[in-house]
Structure 1
Amino acid sequence: MASLTRNVFVVLTFLCVLLSFVCFSNAQLSTNFYGSSCRNVAVIVRNAMRQAVSREQRLGASILRLFFHDCFVNVGGPTWTVPLGRRDARTASQSAANTQIPAPTSSLSTLISMFSAKGLSAADMTALSGSHTIGQARCTTFRTHIYNETNIDTQFAATRRATCPASGGDANLAPLDIQTPNRFNNDYYENLVARRGLLHSDQELFNGGSQDALVRSYSTNAVAFRRDFAAAMVKMGNISPLTGTNGEIRRNCRAIN
């Protein structure tokens, strides 16, 4: 965990310092926002990320989660043209994060409602949930699901209980995707169809509700998942962006300038 935290901090600090040198502009988000001020920004960021992920594979999931949090208040994967120019806020709210970001215990109706409040559809939510194809979760976030709920494969539940006791071990980790935890693919949806979703909120996507058909489709059609995930990421990146003179580009991502 300490190694992961250091790597995340190093990468984020590098990116923030890099972007702090570009010229300020009043333009809105644009895929060519740094076209004249830092033409190689995409190559520089990509190389920094590749080096960081090669040292710590969990970093890919951490950066993806960071992007999710910011927009709501062998990793690989699909590619898309990212609209740039989104600035950092000068304030932060832990309470807003706690109330606006879905919890791992969320029901399907809550998930749909919370994403809808940000302008994202139920289909967007289901596609974005596919980010759980990489990364890990703490025992405390899935204990209730593996011990007290019935919409779960019994063998999968038994496997997870081996490292997540009924009492204690809250910080013990388990992969969100048991098949290929370090590869970005559609195995997450195959797991849901097989009742092997690690979090309660994961399995809610395939539990006799409105998203069952889409989950089943993604489980057999990786191309459709990658396409829809990329489109939903662009939509999420355009949630209430701070641009122009609003906000700032932090020199240190952990603190305002």
Structure 2
Amino acid sequence: MARARASSSSTTTLAIFLLCMTLVGQSYGQLKKGFYDGRCSANVESVIFDIVLKAYQNDNTIVAALLRMQFHDCFVGGCDASILLDGSNAEKNAPSNGSVRGYELIDACKAKLEQVCPGLVSCADIIVIATRVAVALAKGNWYDVETGRRDGFFSTITEAEKNLPPPTISVSDAITLFNRKGLSSYDFVLLLGGGHTVGDIHCSKFLDRLYNYKNTGRPDPSMNSATLSSCQQRCPRSGSNNFVFADQTVGSEFKVDNGYYQAIAQGKGILEIDQRIASDSLTKDSVNKLAWTDNLFAYQFGYAMVKLGKVGVLTGSQGQVRLNCRRNN
């Protein structure tokens, strides 16, 4: 798979913006922008930026990995870094989390921060900050993160499987699930698109759409014919270890942009839920607006990520600040 490097000019701009931006301002509950200001001798967000940048320059698929990690963490018991805990029954071992990666990157951020700010920065905040940096490096808009989360104690496979939506979920059921987390149907469309605008999907996750949709012995008729043919070449009926790009707009595969919406509006969705949001009456208008309105997704995705980052947070004296993200203190 191709690897991309951030240009030196865009990287410098982001770094300067990170160091110079004003972090004080509006706060929500006990989460706020600039929570660590004045509490650490180093700039916490700058430390994380440098580590994520290095990882991105080596492998730009880390963007998709971090987006998936934040979503999968926040949807299981809230944004409390429970997905990072090790253990035979921990949620990272759930089948639904088999594609989540990036744990070593979070470990690296935590190790560096423990050197400069011992016992201060939560693993939950590291996930959220690192994901924002990755989005910006992948040409997405920079959005302000709120920090002050604390880490949870519990992590189980059962909770992961109960809370994470399968790729075959209906649009109405997905919206209901998001509503339970305090997120709207529009947030659902934004977050699904943001997660699928970069990265790839294993053939096994959508093989039925290519050959035996709903046990008909035929492909899913809603799939674009050219996309169907291309996917069948990559994913033979007998099975394959291959992947295809989640975003089928050429040139958009590694960018956090609205190419995903343009693709699904043309029947090029890979997972069933991707294609369904483009045709379902509950979501199709949102998809069309995001596909064809300049900069709409760029501006609104960040707001959805901030809302996601508030789901089920622990703050104040709740939870803990783990010294090692993989185990409780």
Q: 1:36 aligns with which of 21, 31, 38?
A: 38
CA RMSD, Structure 1 to Structure 2 (Å) = 1.7
Structure showing greater relative contact order (alpha-carbon pairs closer than 8 Å, 6 or more residues apart): 1
Cross-structure match for 2:23: none
The farther-off stretch of 246-255 and 153-162 is: 246-255
In structure 1, what is the equivalent of residue 268 of structure 2?
A: 196
Which residue of structure 2 aligns with residue 154 of structure 1?
A: 225
How much does 1:217 deviate?
0.8
**1:161 counterpart SS class:** helix
Task: Note the alpha carbon deviations across 1:121-149, whole angstroms, 9 max, x for none.
Answer: 10110011121110111111111223321
Q: 1:82 deviation in Å?
A: 0.5
**Alignment: residue pair count:** 231
Partner of 2:245: 175
TM-score (norm 1): 0.85
Q: 2:193 — aligned with what? A: 130
Report the CA distance between 1:255 and its aligned residue.
Answer: 2.3
Letter in 2 for 1:176: A
Q: Alpha-carbon deviations, 1:30-72, whole Å to 9, x = none?
A: 1121011135111221121111111111111111111111211
Mapped partners of 1:30, 1:142: distance in 2: 40
Match of 2:103 in 1: none
Contact 1:101 1:114 in 2 (8 A): no
Residues 76 and 249 from structure 1, CA distance in 2 versus in 1: closer, same or farther, beyond 3 angstroms?
A: farther
Unaligned runs of 5+ in 2: 2-28, 77-136, 214-219
| 8 Å CA contact retained: 1:136, 1:176 | yes
> Structure 1, residues 78-122: CA drift from partner, whole Å, max 9, x if none?
211111011221110211111211111111111111111101010
For residues 1-257 of structure 1, the aligned pairs below 5 Å read 28-38=30-40, 40-73=43-76, 75-131=138-194, 132-147=196-211, 148=213, 149-169=220-240, 171-178=241-248, 179=250, 180-257=252-329
What is the deviation of 1:188? 0.2
CA contact (8 A) 1:197 1:203 kept: yes
Does the CA-based 8 Å contact 1:151-1:207 persist in structure 2? no
Corresponding letter in the other structure for 1:173: F
Letter in 1 for 2:162: T
Q: Contact 2:171–2:280 at 8 Å: present in 1 too? A: no
Asked if 2 retains the 8 angstrom alpha-carbon contact of 1:126 and 1:215, the reply is: yes
Q: Tell me the TM-score normalized by structure 2.
A: 0.67
Q: Is the 8 A contact 2:167 2:271 kept in 1?
A: yes
- What's the secondary structure of 1:184's corresponding residue? coil
Deviation at 1:208, TM superposition (A): 3.8
